[in-house]
């Protein structure tokens, strides 16, 4: 029997970049938050400022093992998201996506909790359709170096929809496009953090290929708002599950990697020079979300410009590098 009126929310991967921002917003919204993380790529520094909050609890746990708790909502964010981290132990990456999905779906089934899966634009692979809509099935190499993440997330989506169809689970599948902001790990190998750290250190900025491949960068605050609006969609008539997705969440403004590098140099006042290296295997040439569905269904679109978001992110990395953490 639930005594408190506070919503009990579980965030897996809650000590990671996105997870910690989500925990923070949920606490501000009056929820009881259970943050679960095995600290493979997350860090206690991201959640240290929540310590002492009576409505926040941290649990060290690996989602590849079952979890027995009582919750009302689940945000399943657990999985390393940067190539450096997910390629370090590719078997564990796949297990985190697949076994983790099975365990969290089993928990949602038992507790009758609404559950959101943090999927990824990587399910589209190196797309042949541009921009990418939710109806596009993708162009993914199933045996490449990135497939532990790409195919793991695709399989997780399959599991979510099968639990939805077979057991009537109220699921939400969000396909996240490139997101950046404070609390990114300085050494996670992602393009925004790489460029900012190199620029602040006046080191050469490393571009792969000719730098003309494109990405769409969404600031973390906008991304978290998308999660919350998606999860807040009402259930259907007679308690039936609501709209399951998938829904693209990302910034539709497309930039080349070279444009990003030049903007970071300008905003940091860096003396860095651009250097070019061969393009990694299976690296997508284009990535841009069609967010028509999110606009219509969630009344959501990003509000924070790339320049504004980068300034806030640069300020964070300046403090990190200054402290030596």
Catalytic residues: 149
Written as one string, the DSSP assignment of 30-59 is T-EEEEEE--SS--GGGTGGGTT-TTEEEE
Integer angstrom CA distances of residue 54 from 30, 50, 317: 11, 9, 29
Q: Token pair for residue 247?
A: 């829904």
Q: Token pair for residue 202?
A: 């006046």
- In the three-class reduction of DSSP (H, G, I as helix; E, B as strand; rest coil), residue 14 is classed as coil
Sign of CA dihedral 146, 148, 151, 157: negative
Dist. CA 41–CA 39, nearest whole Å = 5
Q: Token pair for residue 134?
A: 């939710």
Task: Provide the β-strand partners of residue 75.
Answer: 11, 116
Dist. CA 61–CA 224, nearest whole Å = 23
Dist. CA 37–CA 49, nearest whole Å = 16
Surface-to-core class of residue 103, CB atoms within 10 Å of its CB (0-12 exposed, 13-18 middle, 19+ buried): buried
């Amino acid at each position: 029997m639930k005594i408190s009126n506070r919503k009990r929310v579980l965030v897996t991967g809650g000590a990671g970049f996105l997870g910690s921002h989500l925990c923070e917003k949920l606490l501000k919204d009056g929820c009881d938050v259970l943050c679960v993380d095995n600290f493979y790529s997350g860090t206690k520094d991201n959640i240290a400022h929540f310590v002492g909050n009576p409505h926040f609890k941290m649990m060290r746990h690996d989602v590849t093992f079952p979890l027995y708790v009582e919750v009302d909502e689940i945000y399943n964010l657990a999985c390393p998201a940067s190539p450096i981290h997910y390629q370090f132990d590719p078997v564990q990456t796949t297990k985190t996506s697949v076994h983790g999905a099975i365990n969290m779906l089993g928990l949602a089934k038992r507790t009758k909790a609404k559950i959101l899966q943090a999927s990824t634009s990587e399910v589209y692979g190196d797309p042949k359709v541009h921009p990418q809509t939710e109806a596009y099935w993708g162009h993914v190499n199933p045996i490449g170096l990135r497939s532990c993440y790409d195919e793991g997330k695709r399989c997780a989506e399959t599991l979510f929809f099968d639990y939805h169809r077979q057991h009537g689970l109220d699921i939400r599948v969000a396909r996240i496009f490139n997101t950046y902001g404070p609390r990114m790990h300085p050494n996670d190998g992602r393009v925004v953090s790489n460029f900012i750290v190199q620029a602040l250190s006046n080191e050469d900025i490393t571009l792969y290929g000719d730098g003309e491949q494109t990405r769409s960068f969404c600031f973390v605050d906008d991304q978290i708002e998308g999660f919350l609006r998606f999860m807040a969609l009402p259930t259907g008539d007679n308690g039936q599950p609501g709209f399951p997705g998938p829904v693209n969440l990302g910034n539709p403004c497309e930039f080349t990697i070279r444009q990003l590098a030049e903007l970071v140099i300008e905003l940091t006042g860096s003396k860095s020079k651009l250097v070019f290296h061969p393009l990694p295997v299976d690296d997508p040439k284009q990535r841009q979300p069609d967010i028509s569905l999110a606009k219509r269904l969630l009344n959501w679109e990003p509000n924070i410009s790339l320049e504004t978001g980068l300034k806030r992110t640069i300020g964070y990395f300046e403090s990190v590098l200054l402290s030596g953490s």
